[in-house]
Structure 1
Amino acid sequence: MILNARSSYSRLLLMVVLITVIVSGSSRAIVHAAVNVPDNIRVAFFINLGANKYQSLTSVATLQSTDGMNLIWRDPQFSLPAGNVAAGNSVRFAVDGYRALVLETADLNAAIAVLKKIQASSSAAFVTRLTKSGKPVYQVTEGTYSSAAGAKTALTKWTGSGVATGVQTLISARVAGPWAVETGPYSSAYEAEIAADQLGSAGLDSFVALKPREGALEYVLRVGQEQNESTLPALQEAVAAAGGLNVRIPAAGESYALIRHDMTLNGNANKPVDFYAIPAGSGAVLRADPAGAGGINLLERSKRTYRGSMEVSVLNQSLAVVNEVDYEQYLYSVVGTEIGAKWPLEAQKAQAVAARSYALSSGMGYNIAHVVDTTLSQAYFGIASENAMAIEGVNQTAGEVLTSQGKVINAVFSANAGGITADNATEIWEGDDSFLTAGAESPDDGPQKGLLDWYYVALSSGQAGYIRSDLLADSGQKHISGAKYLKATAEGIAVRSKPQVVASVEPIARIGSGTLVVELDKVPENTDYSWIEGPVTPEVLLASINKRAKPQITGPLRTLEVTKTGPSGRATEVKANGVTVDVGVSDNLRGALNGLKSTLFTIEETGRYSILNGQGDQVDSSGQIGSLKIIGGDGTASSVTDPNLYVMDGKGNLRAGTTAPAFNFLGKGYGHGLGMSQWGARGLAEQGYDYQYILKYYYKNVLIEKDA
């Protein structure tokens, strides 16, 4: 068919319009703007920011890589090669501080035996090999203390406990400190080791050390492990008399890294491991770069392996370990750790953008690091937590962040909002985060899908507990209260304290096939979406509350109730014994109430109920503990002594109570509930929504911008 020019033009125009509509309807609303996502991010594993800030402490850090590592010296002026660690070998780091020197012996097996005794109650026990009189000796030390007094207290403890009893020691137990004299420089590590052995022949503790000078690293010896500088002049003379080269007393604050040879219990104890001791206050940093693609294992962080470099330094007298890693590769692990490997790709992408935004908005929030590896920032568990879906979600959103008014937002998220997101201004941290969608319905019930309900039942013994619904059947009989009798359908059925199987918690009872129990309630299984905690005793709750409450609540704890809630139903005020529990912002109630999953909860006081007495007056049982009496059919009144009590409520339902106070918490959700709910993101993705919709559902008035 032949079309005239005008007809062809009209059809062409119509086709262009249709294509434009189709393309515009499916295109990503990504703005390319001047957002700068750095190449790398710094993640702190161990860092000390002060007692009232953040502390994650370790006395030693042990690194290993299947491909080996290259060590780099870094300080404010230089970045210099500092040596290599062979494939599969370990290297250890600590602060060059004060230690309790418990033993020096020529018997390695004896030293290892003492080490094991100390390790039973300390993670900072070491066996260090030196050479004296041409033979190896082994010093057993404990601790990396910031003061001589701290080391002295520890020394008294170890000597008093007799950990070295029966072992012949070459020196008296004493405090070993970081003060020393210096000899050198030497042309190589080998030459320095020979010089250390020579001085060891004079009975001197000599260690090779790295030291920067005029843009290069030198090998020197640090001789002595003195408590203070007062003994250094005499030590200087002794070292010079023993043939030391250019012996000097270094000024306090000079930068160095002492290299010890420590014996370990991992593998072959006869094989020494290089141990770098870094002084406080010098600004020195030792960085380990992986020699291949295998990553670096950090033994003290659950033996996890991480991409990128590890930097070790001293901050506030404590060892600091920071992972510097490619930003996107960091997110591979974060997304893989935070959500499931089988979750939809759009949920993975939403998590990637939220996590990237959250990390970028943090700035250098931890002094020498942007973030930490725990959920205080976001969970980061290394290479083992990566998976194909997480990597795909990160790669497909590379460089994308959420912004509001030109700034990257603090895109907080939680595991499960319990069906509705929180309002920060009134319910959580009392902040005005205008980009967080408050009160949004969230499809969070994913954890509940496919799980059976549980029956809450009363046993003939008077105990109450939970039994999974597939293990009980309706007996066809009724209790005198009108409640159903349920019949056990198998032998050895566990009756549990919560509607959930927890392998580490023993059942409160077991019942046999055909046993009758009384149905009290039917509830969902405990999950991140719906949960029951309790009954919790007053003693446990009061102790937990008073760790955080100011002022503390005067015990004993008789009543506990939610007295105010916010727009989403989350608790914003709780009173104990009629007194407001003041723990600061509302989200702190989770920790104060013995570690609840969220603040979206109600409290059931099992020992509190109202009773009509003989005169028809209503009596509150909370103030009458121990005085409850029941009149029997013969008119005789008897005290209730059994801890379990079953009553009919105003609606005729049989309820389980207790004669003494106890508390159940019935809740929804896991986490603070602000911003994106991870389970909600999964639910929306399963409904067919893309990651942009998901993000803009939980974060309002935001743009998705891409790294320029």
Structure 2
Amino acid sequence: MINRKGLSLGRTAVLGSLLAAVALGTTGASAWAVSVPDQIRVALFVDLGSKYQSLTPAVTLNAAGGMKLSWNGIALASVQGGQSARFAVDGYRAKLLETEDLGSAVSVLKKVQASSNAAFITLLNKNDKPVYQVTEGNYASAAAASAALAKWTGAGATVGAQSLSAASVAGPWAVEAGPYASEAEASAAVSRFGAAGLDAFVARKASAAGAGYYVRIGQASDPSALAALQEAASASGQAVRIPAAGEAYVVVRNDVTLNGATGQAVPLYALPQSGGAALKAAPVGDKGIQALERSKRTYRGSMEISVLNNNLALVNELPLEQYLYSVVGSEIFQGWPAEAQKAQAVAARSYALSQGVGFQIANVVDTTLSQTYTGMGGENAQAVAAVEATEGEVLTSGGKAITAVFSANAGGITADNLSEIWRNDTPYLASAAQSPDEGPQEGKLDWYKVALSGGQVGYIRSDLLEDSGTKNAAGIPLYRTTEADVAVRPGPQIVATVEPIARLNAGASVVVLDKVPEYTNYSWVEGPFTADQLLNSLNKRAKTKLTSLQTLEVSKRGPSGRAMELKADGTVIDVGVPDNLRGALGGIKSTLFEIEETGRYTVIGANGEKKEFPSGGSSLSIAGADGASVPAGSGNLFVLGAKGELRAATTSPGFIISGKGFGHGLGMSQWGAKGLAEQGYDYQSILQYYYKNVKIEKDGGK
């Protein structure tokens, strides 16, 4: 078994350490020392390759008060309150269907949407009739779109639908007419080109004179098609040119994807893959902009839409302090003490400021890779008050804002970055501060780990069992259920979506193997895992792949007791920095854990000979009272140790992982901050306890 030193720490020790570290009520602030920007850029969708990817083929925005669209400061269009505008990339697409029947288009759309979120219906007017084109994808090349086209046609996506043209690859290559004096003139030109059977769309291009109106004709997949397209378009009697490659434009399509039942079109602004056209959507009024594809969240500030690495990018730009309203409200619970809320505000502001332009076109992202940001829906009055009470305050070290990372629950003790987590030399993230993180367990009952008569092992809540006062034939005390229909759960918690492994009548007898806290972010148990399950998970991270897994153990721990290294079958597993162990073990909550190897034990035979299991293919037999031996078979064994303790074991390798805390454990523990605030500590004291040798400095302009 693994030494659990440091896994359970009392509040008395925390209070003593904190009093020694910083006096109650000390501010530690020195005014006019740092510069805090007014604005922040938050990437909601962006493609940064291996560093970060949050992708969407389209973005749908709307605002209760309406929106103003602009291009590099040049007015582009207005969107009425409650109406939507969509945005996408003018890339390569698989054109599956062209039909005059909206119902057929919607039917094909739904088939494609079953396995793709990049399906569109575009409304055109061709030969004086409405025509619906169904396309799929935003592909970086014609070859990729052609492969997708073959997949969809091969899968029968258009079976039963009559198309006006053969399925093909649609691309961004087009010829151009214009400029026109107004949108009305451009739309009239679109109608003339459409009457000749050509695909034509209103387009916008920016110049010193403003955003002019143009018409783009065609959706060719190759520039070699442009000469013939120019000739066909010129036959309508209008001047048509082949635009230079790389010219920035925005093509406006009538999109029916979201309103297939009614056929009502909304404008879809398609930006070229080559970039150069960054659009801005600004709300009219203060009710924010809703982003449909980002869980229908509504955001303060403006939205910038652009193309990066051939994919659509959406960046929310807003005042930094308003961003923090949502971060604080999203990161910690409403109702927590005001001082914990303030500590979170300063930590979040410091973290955001430390990132610079960490995501190429944005300072931060909206996920926990930076810090959770959910827009206006994440705000609450307490969070707003905490941000305003600490306006401009930043944690600094050496005159610079620190990367003030934090985690949900440190499990009683914070981590050391240099040795235990990411191995960065950040002295302000040194171990190990004892942390009052027990909050999630308050009001929770313990659970008994039990063995049933049929050999199953599970958990029963402690208020549903009592000691029966009797023992079984092996002298093990028996417990009995106190109610009818008692659920035996696979873990020490109730999960509505997970069925119990058994249900017991009142008075049913069980053997208690252990007593554990209820599963929370402070104390948790995962498993049991089979060897194959962990082998697969480990090999996703291991630099040298494992071929088998018989034993798994923590072979090195850091100052806080967190695992720094694992050995599988006696060999160290290299997964990179220690924090990667969380993902390597299937996404466990923290690296403050221990591993129980249920298939590992020592058996002493009748002749006194010891045999270690697992042991190179040796089988285990059990001798009965009559002296006859039978194979142990598969499943659980119940082993009585030398000290009389009963343990659930398995005949093949198996593993149970139990631990403390949720997150990397560096810097401030959010539950610990709550605990300290409840004991009377102010936010400055809390921050200076969790971040070592830092100052709290204030923006000179705040």
> Which deviates more from structure 2 when the two are superposed, residues 350-359 or residues 108-117?
108-117
For residues 545-586 of structure 1, the C-alpha deviation after alignment (integer angstroms, 9 at most, x for no partner) is: 00110101111x111111111111100110111111100000
The equivalent residue for 2:409 is 416
Counterpart mapping for 1:56-135 below 5 A: 56-74=54-72, 79-135=73-129
2:662 counterpart (656, 659, 670): 670
| 1:435 counterpart SS class | helix
CA distance in 1, matches of 2:698, 2:253: 48
> Measured at CA, do residues 482 and 431 of structure 1 come closer, stay the same or move farther in structure 2, by a change above 3 Å?
farther
| 1:455 counterpart SS class | strand
| 1:623 counterpart SS class | coil
CA distance in 2, matches of 1:182, 1:267: 30
> Which deviates more from structure 2 when the two are superposed, residues 112-121 or residues 472-481?
472-481
The equivalent residue for 2:214 is 220
User: Counterpart of 1:43 in structure 2: which amino acid?
Assistant: V
The equivalent residue for 1:18 is none
The equivalent residue for 1:15 is none
Contact map agreement 1:43 1:371 (CA 8 A) in 2:
yes
| 1:589 counterpart SS class | helix
For residues 78-118 of structure 1, the C-alpha deviation after alignment (integer angstroms, 9 at most, x for no partner) is: x1111111111111111100001111111111111111111
> Measured at CA, do residues 625 and 307 of structure 1 come closer, stay the same or move farther in structure 2, by a change above 3 Å?
farther
1:351 counterpart (335, 344, 351): 344
| 2:614 counterpart SS class | helix
1:705 counterpart (693, 697, 701): 697
1:608 counterpart (600, 614, 618): 600
1:176 counterpart (143, 167, 170): 170
- 1:624 Cα offset (Å): 5.0
For residues 504-530 of structure 1, the C-alpha deviation after alignment (integer angstroms, 9 at most, x for no partner) is: 111111111111111111100011101
Residues 1:594 and 2:586 aligned together: yes
1:368 counterpart (361, 364, 367): 361
The equivalent residue for 1:53 is 51
Contact map agreement 2:102 2:260 (CA 8 A) in 1:
no
User: Counterpart of 1:185 in structure 2: which amino acid?
Assistant: P
- 1:650 Cα offset (Å): 2.4
Matched positions, count:
678
> Which deviates more from structure 2 when the two are superposed, residues 352-361 or residues 622-631?
622-631
1:189 counterpart (156, 163, 183): 183
CA distance in 1, matches of 2:422, 2:311: 30
2:536 counterpart (538, 543, 559): 543
- 1:383 Cα offset (Å): 0.9
Residues 1:34 and 2:36 aligned together: no
Counterpart mapping for 1:472-487 below 5 A: 472-487=465-480
The equivalent residue for 1:302 is 295
> Which deviates more from structure 2 when the two are superposed, residues 156-165 or residues 246-255?
156-165
Contact map agreement 1:254 1:282 (CA 8 A) in 2:
no
2:244 counterpart (207, 227, 251): 251
> Measured at CA, do residues 647 and 27 of structure 1 come closer, stay the same or move farther in structure 2, by a change above 3 Å?
closer
The equivalent residue for 1:161 is 155
Contact map agreement 2:25 2:685 (CA 8 A) in 1:
no
Structure 1: runs of 5+ lacking an equivalent = 1-23
CA distance in 1, matches of 2:311, 2:481: 58
Residues 1:517 and 2:517 aligned together: no
| 1:87 counterpart SS class | coil
The equivalent residue for 1:140 is 134
CA distance in 2, matches of 1:187, 1:71: 19
> Which deviates more from structure 2 when the two are superposed, residues 424-433 or residues 475-484?
475-484
- 1:679 Cα offset (Å): 0.4
- 1:309 Cα offset (Å): 0.8
User: Counterpart of 1:31 in structure 2: which amino acid?
Assistant: S
Counterpart mapping for 1:174-573 below 5 A: 174-244=168-238, 246-266=239-259, 269-555=262-548, 557-573=549-565
Contact map agreement 1:481 1:654 (CA 8 A) in 2:
no
CA distance in 1, matches of 2:155, 2:428: 59
CA distance in 1, matches of 2:25, 2:341: 19
Structure 2: runs of 5+ lacking an equivalent = 1-22
User: Counterpart of 1:61 in structure 2: which amino acid?
Assistant: V
> Measured at CA, do residues 624 and 515 of structure 1 come closer, stay the same or move farther in structure 2, by a change above 3 Å?
farther
User: Counterpart of 1:637 in structure 2: which amino acid?
Assistant: S
> Measured at CA, do residues 129 and 25 of structure 1 come closer, stay the same or move farther in structure 2, by a change above 3 Å?
closer
> Which deviates more from structure 2 when the two are superposed, residues 471-480 or residues 673-682?
471-480
| 2:427 counterpart SS class | coil
| 1:340 counterpart SS class | coil
For residues 192-235 of structure 1, the C-alpha deviation after alignment (integer angstroms, 9 at most, x for no partner) is: 11110111010000000110122411010000000111111111
- 1:265 Cα offset (Å): 3.5
For residues 319-349 of structure 1, the C-alpha deviation after alignment (integer angstroms, 9 at most, x for no partner) is: 1111101101101110111100010000000
> Measured at CA, do residues 456 and 306 of structure 1 come closer, stay the same or move farther in structure 2, by a change above 3 Å?
same
> Measured at CA, do residues 438 and 26 of structure 1 come closer, stay the same or move farther in structure 2, by a change above 3 Å?
closer
2:623 counterpart (631, 651, 663): 631
> Measured at CA, do residues 141 and 327 of structure 1 come closer, stay the same or move farther in structure 2, by a change above 3 Å?
same
For residues 423-463 of structure 1, the C-alpha deviation after alignment (integer angstroms, 9 at most, x for no partner) is: 11111111111112411110000000110000000001110
Contact map agreement 1:97 1:177 (CA 8 A) in 2:
yes
Contact map agreement 2:255 2:267 (CA 8 A) in 1:
yes
> Measured at CA, do residues 695 and 247 of structure 1 come closer, stay the same or move farther in structure 2, by a change above 3 Å?
same
| 2:215 counterpart SS class | strand
CA distance in 2, matches of 1:295, 1:481: 69
| TM-score, with structure 2 as normaliser | 0.95
- 1:483 Cα offset (Å): 3.0
Contact map agreement 1:59 1:94 (CA 8 A) in 2:
yes
> Measured at CA, do residues 484 and 624 of structure 1 come closer, stay the same or move farther in structure 2, by a change above 3 Å?
farther
- 1:626 Cα offset (Å): 6.1
- 1:601 Cα offset (Å): 0.4
User: Counterpart of 1:183 in structure 2: which amino acid?
Assistant: A
Contact map agreement 1:199 1:243 (CA 8 A) in 2:
no
| 1:204 counterpart SS class | coil
> Measured at CA, do residues 589 and 506 of structure 1 come closer, stay the same or move farther in structure 2, by a change above 3 Å?
same
For residues 659-707 of structure 1, the C-alpha deviation after alignment (integer angstroms, 9 at most, x for no partner) is: 1111001100111111000000000000000000000000111110111
Q: Where do 4+ consecutive residues of structure 1 move more than 6 Å? A: none
| TM-score, with structure 1 as normaliser | 0.94
CA distance in 1, matches of 2:478, 2:27: 59
CA distance in 2, matches of 1:283, 1:537: 52
CA distance in 2, matches of 1:85, 1:307: 17
CA distance in 2, matches of 1:163, 1:535: 43
- 1:26 Cα offset (Å): 5.6
Contact map agreement 1:128 1:261 (CA 8 A) in 2:
yes
Q: Percent identity?
A: 60
